[in-house]
Structure 1
Amino acid sequence: MSDRSDLPAYEGPPVNVPPPPGWRVESVALTGEPRRLPPQDHAAINADEQRARLVTHWITLVSVALMFTVLVIGLLNG
């Protein structure tokens, strides 16, 4: 291994120079009033969530059945 005594010592972070007294940001951008959100169709949202839940359940059911089938075939052949 090489000797690290030939490397310069770490002197720490540079000195932070504070801003001059009385310094302030020249301007602050003012935002406008927020827009109103469009009305939501809660019945349609609930129907979409129910359909998504049904699709998720079917995909899970098919995946578990497929994994179980592969497991049984593997056990019968092994």
Structure 2
Amino acid sequence: MSDRNEYDGPPVNVPPPPGWRVEAVALPSDPRPLPPQDHDAIDAAEQRARLVTHWITLIGVALMFTVLIVGLLSAA
């Protein structure tokens, strides 16, 4: 590094040797088709999952209020 406070610029760019590029590009094959989907079964599974989620939420809220009420009654 030099003792000067001047910027010397970026390093010198060395060009690549001639002929460094690939001669040809391999083309990928066509994508495979997706398997068929059973939309009625998917909708039924989503409905069951929604029902389970609602019940778990309802039970959680009921337990939270139970703990709150027991805590308030025991503190009095």
Same fold (TM over 0.5): yes
TM-score (ref. length: structure 2): 0.70
Partner residue, 1:57: 54
Q: 1:62 Cα deviation (Å)?
A: 0.3
Partner residue, 1:41: 38
CA distance in 2, matches of 1:42, 1:64: 33
Residue-pair matches, total: 65
Gaps of 5+ in 1: 1-13
Q: Deviations over 1:20-78 (max 9, x none)?
A: 46642354332111000011100000000000000000000000000110010011111
Partner residue, 1:68: 65
Paired amino acid for 1:41: D
